[in-house]
Chain A
Amino acid sequence: MRALAGIGAVTLGLLAAIGRVAMFFGATVTHLVRPPFYLREFALALLNIGWLSLPVVGLTAIFTGGALALQIYAGGARFNAEAVVPQIVAIGMVRELGPVLVGLMIAARVTSSIAAEIATMKVTEQIDALVTLSTHPMKYLAVPRVLAATLAVPLLVGVGDVIGIFGGYAVATGTLGFNAAAYIQNTVDFLELRDVVSSLVKGAVFGCLAALMGCYFGMNSGRGAQGVGRATKGSVEAAAVLILAANFVLTGVFFSI
């Protein structure tokens, strides 16, 4: 009986949390379409989320692509299928590893910084100060960040896909004896439009989730340094789990039908 009540309470809590996040998302969207718009904040968010994430995205992708080529080669060798390296690297990077790893890196880098910044603003009454200066915190803080992430992360994913494929290419042509021109030809011939579209759509959804979680946890932060710490930790956990869950759903939508 106790256990059952416990499960019930957890389920209810979870549903309530989902409801709150959905309402937060709804509020962000309604503020997105109503003026005023804060272009300077949006430009700064684009810079922070997009441009400044490039190094970490590039490094993640290149090592992943390289390792992927090595694994596929070793695995393929067991049944004389070493030649599939370019095709599987391409599909693996573009369909799954590119979006997921970029998404998780964004959760680590962007979600945490958004949550910590907004939570600090909350505990030092800067959010209250915004309100008294007739500036809506959702419009000024959440909308620019969520919009910038939704637009910038697909581009980052695209860049990550290309760099990841290049990582595979470098390993395959450098140490595994593949022909350079044939590798590229095989990659290009094999990839379908659907692969690329799914990659970018995943990027947009993951970017949106990552920024949304940062803003949501930041604005609902508890008091003091401890509150900021909890908000940051919670935001990254939630963003990472939601990104992986969304990835599963989107993969189902794109590839199982």
Chain B
Amino acid sequence: MITLSDVHKSFGDNHVLRGVDLHVARGTSTVIIGGSGTGKSICIKTVLGLVTPERGTITVDGQDVTKTGDRDAFLARFGMLFQAAALFDSLPVWQNVAFRLMRGSLKRPKDEAREIAIEKLRRVGLTPDVADRLPAELSGGMQKRVGLARAIAAEPEIIFFDEPTTGLDPIMAGVINDLIREIVTEMGATTMTITHDMTSVRTIADNVAMLHGGKIRWTGPVADIDAAHDPYVDQFINGRAEGPIETVR
């Protein structure tokens, strides 16, 4: 359903993406792994049009994302959790979660939007009393979960999660991993998740793609990852300092 082919992106002389090819099938969960700074976040931002690649094409359902007529309708199919949550700090938590439900084509009555927001907050392990607080009054991990609730609030078909469990305690991370899995299996959503946490990878993923050197180094079903026989993948999943991926020390 989502296809990236030969996507290139540089910032000045920092050539981040050097020809990314990736296919994500409908109703599957793809996890992108890769070292810090390899361009994972940039990669999903290109799909949403937040970053414009210099070269290559990206299609969703066969349609080029740069040539969508009604951009709002196109974006209404997506949900996105940003790496740093990106909550609107002028709005209380529940209005952040219900943002899409309070304006535009998905608008509903205020009470209903608030109810949905509180229900979504509950699903990410937050109690209703945070609903009326401002984002700045929450801890980092709580902000992350509010961002997650916002991404899933309107039940979009395609959801991107940028490091959903970073900064969470192991129990909460488990809750979130299960939630993402549920969203795929029960709601039939298509998801792309970026994570560094191998437990997450094994819980969430149908398929795994590893980004290295600006390209997809390896991709395949999660069950094959331990037998990938790729030294880069092996080094990454086992967290070894020694290997083909250079570490600066």
Q: Show the binding face of A for B, using Cβ within 8 Å.
A: 36, 38, 121, 124-126, 128-136
Partner of B45, one of A36, A128, A134, A135: A128
The CA of A130 and the CA of B86, in the complex, are separated in Å by: 9
| Nearest residue, chain B, Cβ from A130 | B88
Taking A125-B86, A132-B50 as known contacts, 7 extra A-B pairs with beta carbons closer than 8 A to each other, sorted by chain A number, are A124-B84, A126-B86, A129-B88, A133-B100, A133-B150, A134-B72, A134-B104
| Nearest residue, chain A, Cβ from B51 | A128
| Nearest residue, chain B, Cβ from A136 | B72
B152 proximal to A (CB < 8 A) = no
On chain A, the residues within 8 Å of B89 by CB distance are 124, 126
Partner of B50, one of A36, A124, A128, A135: A128
- Given the interface contacts A134-B72, A134-B75, does A129 sit within 8 Å of B103 by beta carbon? no
Partner of B82, one of A129, A135, A136: A129
On chain B, the residues within 8 Å of A38 by CB distance are 103
Question: What's the nearest-Cβ distance from chain A to residue B242, in Å?
Answer: 34
| Nearest residue, chain A, Cβ from B151 | A132
- Given the interface contacts A131-B48, A132-B50, does A126 sit within 8 Å of B100 by beta carbon? no
The CA of A222 and the CA of B84, in the complex, are separated in Å by: 18
B233 proximal to A (CB < 8 A) = no
> A129 and B80: CB pair below 8 A?
yes
Interface residues of B in 117-171 (CB under 8 A from A): 150
Partner of A134, one of B50, B76, B88: B76
Question: What's the nearest-Cβ distance from chain B to residue A93, in Å?
Answer: 36
On chain A, the residues within 8 Å of B73 by CB distance are 134
Question: What's the nearest-Cβ distance from chain B to residue A56, in Å?
Answer: 22
Q: Show the binding face of B for A, using Cβ within 8 Å.
A: 45, 48-50, 72-73, 75-76, 78-80, 82, 84, 86-89, 99-100, 103-105, 150
The CA of A33 and the CA of B211, in the complex, are separated in Å by: 44
- Given the interface contacts A131-B50, A132-B78, does A126 sit within 8 Å of B104 by beta carbon? no
On chain A, the residues within 8 Å of B86 by CB distance are 124-126, 128-129
On chain B, the residues within 8 Å of A129 by CB distance are 80, 82, 86-88
On chain B, the residues within 8 Å of A136 by CB distance are 72
- Given the interface contacts A132-B48, A133-B99, A133-B100, does A125 sit within 8 Å of B84 by beta carbon? yes
Q: Could you list 17 A-B pairs, sorted by A, with CB under 8 Å?
A: A38-B103, A121-B88, A124-B84, A124-B89, A125-B82, A126-B86, A126-B88, A129-B88, A131-B48, A131-B49, A132-B50, A132-B78, A132-B80, A133-B75, A134-B100, A134-B104, A135-B99
Question: What's the nearest-Cβ distance from chain B to residue A204, in Å?
Answer: 27
The CA of A132 and the CA of B65, in the complex, are separated in Å by: 13
Most chain A beta-carbon contacts within 10 A, residue among B48, B50, B150: B50
> A132 and B75: CB pair below 8 A?
yes
On chain B, the residues within 8 Å of A126 by CB distance are 86-89
Partner of A36, one of B78, B79, B82, B103: B103
> A135 and B88: CB pair below 8 A?
no
Most chain B beta-carbon contacts within 10 A, residue among A38, A126, A131, A134: A134
The CA of A124 and the CA of B89, in the complex, are separated in Å by: 10
The CA of A126 and the CA of B150, in the complex, are separated in Å by: 13
The CA of A126 and the CA of B87, in the complex, are separated in Å by: 6
On chain B, the residues within 8 Å of A36 by CB distance are 103-104
| Nearest residue, chain A, Cβ from B79 | A132
The CA of A233 and the CA of B80, in the complex, are separated in Å by: 32
On chain B, the residues within 8 Å of A133 by CB distance are 75, 99-100, 150
The CA of A54 and the CA of B49, in the complex, are separated in Å by: 42
Question: What's the nearest-Cβ distance from chain B to residue A60, in Å?
Answer: 28
| Nearest residue, chain A, Cβ from B88 | A126
The CA of A130 and the CA of B75, in the complex, are separated in Å by: 11
The CA of A36 and the CA of B106, in the complex, are separated in Å by: 13
On chain A, the residues within 8 Å of B84 by CB distance are 124-125
